[in-house]
Amino acid sequence: MMLQLPRPYLLFLGATTNPVLAKTALGLKDWAGPDCVAQWCLPGGTVNTGLPEMRPAEAHAAGARSIVIGVAPVGGKLQPDWVEPLVEALEAGLDIVSGMHDRLESSLRIAETAARLGRRLINVRTPAPPAANGTGDKRTGKRLLTVGTDCALGKKYTALVLTRAFRARGVPADFRATGQTGIMIAGEGVPLDSVVADFLSGYAEALSPDAAPDHWDVIEGQGSLFHPAYAAVTLGLVHGSQPDVMVLCHEPGRMHIDGVEGYPIPSLSEAITDYVRAARLTNKAARVAGISLNTSALDEAGARAVLAVATAETGLPAADPIRGLGLEALVDACLAG
């Protein structure tokens, strides 16, 4: 499960115009900022991390040691128009770090260039041995899992913020990464969507092993029980994590599952019911302690309003952890009971 990635990074954005697809780059900028030297956006791209724009040779001169694929194309495929830019990065002295399903070696040109120059091709999604079936056995220590009404609305960020907030109160806590960006931030983890399906729960169990009774593993959620493509991964993570506490992540105003026609976002109450029902298979005490809203599309008054609405609907504290609104009450609720 351990990976050692060559840092600092040049963040590769392709020609992406959709910030949702660039969550890897944006997450690294926010959570591993000191390790990010620059971004590289191809012509036509509009996503901006706020980092200086550099091509590989300039980034290498500024200290970069690897180029990270900072965008997640649908299906995780290597895009044909990325091959020459990535070859340019190899020529400039950078290794390549990728969270795509497609291995970097699937491009013969990339594979041959890396071999010729002695560069490393690091596929973060490559499943980590050893694989094992889940057991359902109870483990010691406490666990928090972030869950969502959809994908890509703040489950990783919420887990990262809560980990920091727990530690700030003197509560021992570790962030447990389950996706490629989280693994790049934490330096270790399990790329849960790329493991063999039969071992989903087993890997999720291995991710948060027995720990001291007062220790919290704060686990990065994946997917959504309401997503027709990814609910299975979500359920395996819920069952294997055996969460004592879940925090439900949601984006007010998002009406449909992102990128899938005909699938509405559930209400907060429906989502709480279904997640608790699922989690109680492996932990009878599982509960949703609060709501994490992604209010990035709203001004502060709007954010406060939707937080109040969420609390009124669910009776639970609601926070926007990125914005810092309501965070202490959410932490109180997670640690209570």
Q: Which of residues 113 and 208 has its CB atom nearest to a second copy in the complex?
A: 208
Nearer to a second copy, 68 or 233 (CB): 233
Q: How far is the CB of 79 from a second copy (least distance, A)?
A: 16
Amino acid at 59: A
Nearest to 247 by CA among 162, 150, 152: 162
Which residues in this chain contact a second copy in the complex, by CB under 8 A? 74-76, 101, 131-137, 192-198, 200-202, 226, 228-233, 235-236, 239-240, 260-263, 274, 277, 281-282
Of the candidates 250, 248, 226, 224, the one whose C-alpha atom is nearest the C-alpha of residue 237 is 224
For a second copy, give the closer residue by CB, 282 or 295.
282
Q: Nearest 5°: CA angle at 272, between 269 and 276?
A: 145
CB of 125 to a second copy, least distance (A): 9
Report whether the peptide linkage leading into residue 8 is cis, meaning its omega lies within 30 degrees of zero. yes
Q: How far is the CB of 261 from a second copy (least distance, A)?
A: 8
The token pair at 229 is: 């493509």
Instruction: Name which of 222, 239, 218 is nearest 142 in CA terms.
Output: 218
135 in Cβ contact with 204 (< 8 Å): no
Q: Measured from the CB atom, is 56 or 202 closer to a second copy?
A: 202
- Nearest distance, CB of residue 194 and a second copy, angstroms: 6
Half-sphere exposure of 68 (CA within 13 A, CB side): 32
Least distance to a second copy from the beta carbon of 25, Å?
A: 20
| Cβ nearer to a second copy, comparing 270 with 328 | 270
Task: Enumerate residues 6+ apart whose C-beta is below 8 A from 13.
Answer: 22, 25, 39, 40, 41, 42, 45, 47, 49, 70, 71
CB of 254 to a second copy, least distance (A): 16
Q: Write down the least CB distance from residue 260 to a second copy, Å.
A: 5
Nearer to a second copy, 134 or 326 (CB): 134
Q: For residue 218, how many C-alpha atoms fall within 13 Å in the half-sphere facing its CB?
A: 24
Of the pair 43, 75, the CB lying nearest a second copy is at 75
Tokens of 84: 């020459």
